Amino acid sequence: MKEATNKIGFRPTWAEINLTNLTHNFKQLKKLFSPEIKMMVCVKADAYGHGLITTSTKLAALGVDYLAVASIDEGISLRQNYIKVPVLVLGMILEDHIRPLFKYNLIPAVPSESLALALNKEACRKGKPVKVHLKIDTGMGRLGVLAKNAPSFIKKINKLKFIDIEGIFTHLACADSNMYVTSDQIRIFNRLITELNKEKINIKLIHAANSMGVIGYKKSHFNMVRPGLAIYGLYPKQGLKIKLKPVLSLKTRVVYSKRVPCGYGISYGHTYKTSKASTILTLPIGYGDGYPRILSNKAPVLIRGRRYKVSGRVCMDHIMVDVGNHKFPIGEEVVLIGSQGKEKISAAELAYLGNTISYEIVCGIGSRVPRIYSN
């Protein structure tokens, strides 16, 4: 108990990260594609709120082929923590910022000729070619050269002496919602690869599949897949057959409890009033921890395996829960995401109640909430 207290600090709100479940998900996903296909795992945004370094260290130990981050800073953090796996930086890199790529051995995604030219120049100065992955837009409308302009773009880059085109990739925009758009994106990307092969441009790594691609579109696997969400045990959509185990649980403890009369207003704006004399618990978590305010009067919490509801508005540092005539001691554990007894609250359920996606729920859990790892 002493050790846990040390890790959690003096405010009993924490996220438990179950690395056994991470391993389970990694292995489940691996079953979906043939062994010669490589796996890059997305660990951007602090590994979707699960903690960049511990998560990445575990993935490295499991034999992940590549890690993908959003920014150079996230990549540097991996290197400074002795993670040696190849790292792709998915986000756009400004030309002023290319030097750390060389220093920390990070692979840039390249969606423009000007970035390629700047990289080529710096690599030439260093006397050693730089690896890049070219980014093609087949229908996302974000980073990437439009598919119709891709052949001429790639031919130009291919002529640069100090650019080593190690990979080419695209990103699916509607894999969880639209089969037609998705199949079209895959077809456009395929056609491009075939065209390049005809021109004797054979790029080593070809990738397109996010989690939903890995699970639902075999044709999007090419020779490397690039999941994020599913690795953390969350589903890109409902009703999928694959059995994943959620890695993150969010927990807190009762810090205060009192009886209030019938008709008593709870929290800012009195949006909740007791319907009888009740016990109101105060829990030390709020929107300052990334527990969304939109969950006011909506979200369930678990105490002793039973569901109760957030009562009144979510505050910055607190929520309240009306437990009627039930009695709980100070220090009683409360589950906000995760299971307790036979009950379970998933990130997806909170996402549904908060009119968002599970990605945003887990990414939103703030740095004030310590991550506690279990193997």
Give catalytic residue positions. Answer: 44, 268
Task: Determine, following the binding rule CB under 6 A, whether residue 286 of this chain makes contact with ligand PLP.
Answer: no
Give the binding range for ligand PLP (CB under 6 A) out of 157-165, 222-230, 265-273, 323-331.
222-230
Amino acid identity at 120: N
Out of 29, 123, 136, 229, point to the residue binding ligand PLP (CB under 6 A): 229
Segment contacting ligand PLP (CB under 6 A): 16-24, 56-64, 221-229, 340-348?
221-229
What letter represents residue 80's amino acid?
Q
Task: Single out the residue of 278, 255, 328, 336 nearest to residue 302, CA to CA.
Answer: 336
**Judged by CB, which is closer to ligand PLP: 227, or 290?**
227
The CB-nearest residue to ligand PLP is: 228
Closest to ligand PLP by CB, 237 or 273: 237
Q: What is the rounded distance in angstroms from the CA atom of residue 171 to the CA atom of residue 33?
A: 18
Q: Which stretch binds ligand PLP (CB under 6 A): 50-58, 59-67, 226-234, 257-265?
A: 226-234
Burial label for 366, CB within 10 Å (0-12, 13-18, 19+), is middle
Q: Closest separation between CB of residue 44 and ligand PLP, Å? A: 6
CA 269 to chain centre: 34
Position among 228, 246, 300, 338 found at the interface with ligand PLP (CB under 6 A):
228
CB under 6 A: which stretch of 98-106, 178-186, 224-232, 274-282 binds ligand PLP? 224-232
Binding window for ligand PLP (CB under 6 A); candidates: 52-60, 184-192, 223-231, 257-265: 223-231
* Count of positions on this chain that bind ligand PLP (CB under 6 A): 10
Binding mask 85-104 for ligand PLP (x = CB under 6 A): -----x--------------
Min separation Cβ 202 and ligand PLP, Å: 23
User: Are 245 and 21 contacting, i.e. CB atoms less than 8 angstroms apart?
Assistant: yes
- Does 233 participate in binding ligand PLP (rule CB under 6 A)? no
Q: CB-wise, 236 or 364, nearer to ligand PLP? A: 236
Q: Are 248 and 22 in contact (CB under 8 A)?
A: no
Site for ligand PLP, residues 24 to 53, rule: CB under 6 A: 42
Binding interface with ligand PLP (CB under 6 A): 42, 90, 171, 210-211, 226-229, 236
